[in-house]
């Protein structure tokens, strides 16, 4: 069982002192990293078991998140399916770092832990009418101010991550837990503040309930925050990056992307893991060399999207930064998908960077041993010039 502090006030004070003195120290169990080629990340879910061929493919990645629903149809629960998949990958590559997925606020079903959740009184947030399906009007949201709910969530994380096949926790939903306006009209300002306080309380407890070298990676860097989410990064060993190009608030798209780039660069230079994912968007059903839909009057392609997103990644990347271009994390249906279809660029020699990226307005440039990178985030264009390996 998890041992929770008796005096919550004293615990919060101690955690605050820890943050002021430098926060969490990066785990010794960091993923393997090399500049030899584009360092890559995998984020995936499949309701049935992965095939041997798929396991061998997964085992190539130094950092893997097994998303919600993984293996639940064959194994009976997400926990059992995730453990089965992780054990299979570890049998091929013991050095692969595998993260167990949990959303901090959105209740997704299929977990064995849901049986204990039913024993908790009022685990979900409710609006004034008593409706609990507040997220997209379909899914419940955890009441993070509920002490029993907090303990339940932390205990599940501890139990699954105690397996030798699991190397840490991937925490999703942080933006919903931290954004003060999210669900505010449904649950009221006071409860909204209590949810945020509960989130911070849980994050400060995580190191004490996890194994010593377990990784904690969160979906938390977003340009929408005052400090782009860097103000919350002390809780974690790193951040997953998504929603990078969709401006929130009054900023232009290019200024929003520029602010995000600056935040990722800062986090990466500080030694944090960066799991940088981009979506293919409208290009999901095209091959790398096929034309995609028209964009800004020009014929776009999935190849253009790959080059552009990879260039953004490269102007941000430091040690323990990893890249993924995704057309969706669910791979139950694989025909015509990027899943297991690697682009030639992933095999090209890269080599270490020759220095940090240089910025001129919205144009960034950076050189690596075997590649020169230029990206214009205003025009959404990029060039990667690959040099012959000497």
Q: pLDDT for 324-370, tens place per residue?
A: 999 999 999 887 789 999 999 999 999 999 999 999 999 999 999 99
> Could you tell me if residue 367 is inside a domain?
no
Look at the block and give the residue holding tokens 């001129």. 360
The 8-class DSSP code of residue 40 comes to: B
Look at the block and give the residue holding tokens 């990206």. 375
> Could you tell me if residue 9 is inside a domain?
no
> Could you tell me if residue 378 is inside a domain?
no
Per-residue model confidence (pLDDT) at position 281: 74
The pLDDT tens digits for 253-285 are 999 999 999 999 999 999 999 999 999 976 543
Spans of the chain below 70 pLDDT:
1-28, 282-300, 390
Cα distances from 238 to residues 191, 252, 278, 346, 386, in angstroms, run 29, 27, 17, 23, 29
CATH number for the domain harbouring residue 225: 3.20.20.70
> Could you tell me if residue 306 is inside a domain?
yes
> Could you tell me if residue 344 is inside a domain?
no
- How many residues appear in the chain? 390
Give a three-class secondary structure readout of 131-179.
CCCCECCCECEECCCCHHHHHHHHHHHHHHHCCCCCCEEEEECHHHHHC
Per-residue model confidence (pLDDT) at position 292: 39
Range of the domain at 32: 28-330
Rounded to the nearest 5 degrees, what angle is found at the Cα of 123, between the Cα atoms of 121 and 126?
110
Per-residue model confidence (pLDDT) at position 10: 37
> Could you tell me if residue 343 is inside a domain?
no
> Could you tell me if residue 335 is inside a domain?
no
> Could you tell me if residue 354 is inside a domain?
no
Contact 44, 58 (CB under 8 A): yes
DSSP alpha helices (H): ranges in the chain?
8-20, 52-58, 72-75, 78-92, 114-117, 147-161, 174-178, 184-187, 189-209, 253-269, 302-316
Contact 63, 349 (CB under 8 A): no
Per-residue model confidence (pLDDT) at position 27: 47
Look at the block and give the residue holding tokens 């015509």. 336
pTM of the model: 0.89
Question: How many separate domains does the chain show?
Answer: 1
Per-residue model confidence (pLDDT) at position 31: 97
Per-residue model confidence (pLDDT) at position 334: 84
């Amino acid at each position: 069982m998890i041992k929770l502090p008796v005096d919550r006030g004293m615990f919060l004070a101690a955690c605050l002192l820890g943050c002021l003195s430098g926060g969490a120290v990066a785990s010794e169990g960091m993923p393997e990293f090399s500049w030899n080629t584009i360092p890559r990340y995998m984020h995936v879910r499949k309701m049935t078991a992965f095939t041997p061929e798929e396991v061998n493919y997964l085992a190539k990645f130094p950092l893997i998140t097994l998303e919600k629903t993984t293996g639940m149809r064959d194994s009976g629960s997400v926990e059992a399916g995730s453990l089965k998949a992780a054990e299979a990958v570890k049998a091929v590559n013991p050095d692969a770092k595998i993260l167990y997925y949990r959303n901090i606020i959105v209740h997704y079903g299929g977990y064995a832990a849901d049986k204990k959740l039913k024993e908790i009184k009022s685990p979900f947030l409710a609006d004034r009418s008593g409706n609990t399906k507040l997220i997209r009007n379909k899914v419940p949201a955890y009441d993070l101010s509920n002490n029993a709910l907090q303990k339940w969530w932390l205990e599940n994380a501890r139990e699954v991550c105690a397996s030798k096949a699991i190397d840490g926790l991937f925490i999703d939903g942080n933006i919903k837990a931290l954004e003060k306006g999210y669900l505010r009209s449904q649950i009221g300002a006071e409860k909204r503040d209590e949810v945020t306080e509960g989130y911070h309380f849980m994050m400060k407890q995580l190191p004490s309930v996890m194994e010593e070298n377990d990784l904690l990676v969160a979906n938390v860097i977003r340009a929408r925050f005052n400090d782009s989410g860097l103000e919350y990064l002390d809780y974690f060993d790193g951040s997953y990056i998504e929603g990078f190009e969709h401006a929130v608030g009054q900023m232009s798209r290019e200024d929003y992307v520029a602010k995000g780039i600056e935040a990722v660069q800062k986090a990466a230079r500080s030694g944090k893991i960066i799991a940088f994912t981009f979506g293919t968007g409208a290009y999901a059903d095209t091959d790398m060399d096929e034309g995609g839909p028209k964009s800004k009057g020009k014929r776009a392609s999935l190849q253009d999207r790959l080059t552009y997103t990879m260039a953004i990644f490269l102007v941000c990347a430091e040690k323990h930064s990893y890249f993924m271009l995704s057309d969706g994390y669910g791979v139950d249906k694989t025909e015509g998908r990027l899943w297991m279809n690697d682009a030639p660029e992933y095999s090209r020699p890269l080599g270490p960077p020759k220095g940090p990226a240089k910025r001129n307005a919205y144009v960034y440039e950076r050189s690596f041993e075997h590649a020169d990178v230029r990206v214009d985030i205003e025009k959404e264009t990029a060039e990667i010039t690959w040099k012959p390996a000497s």
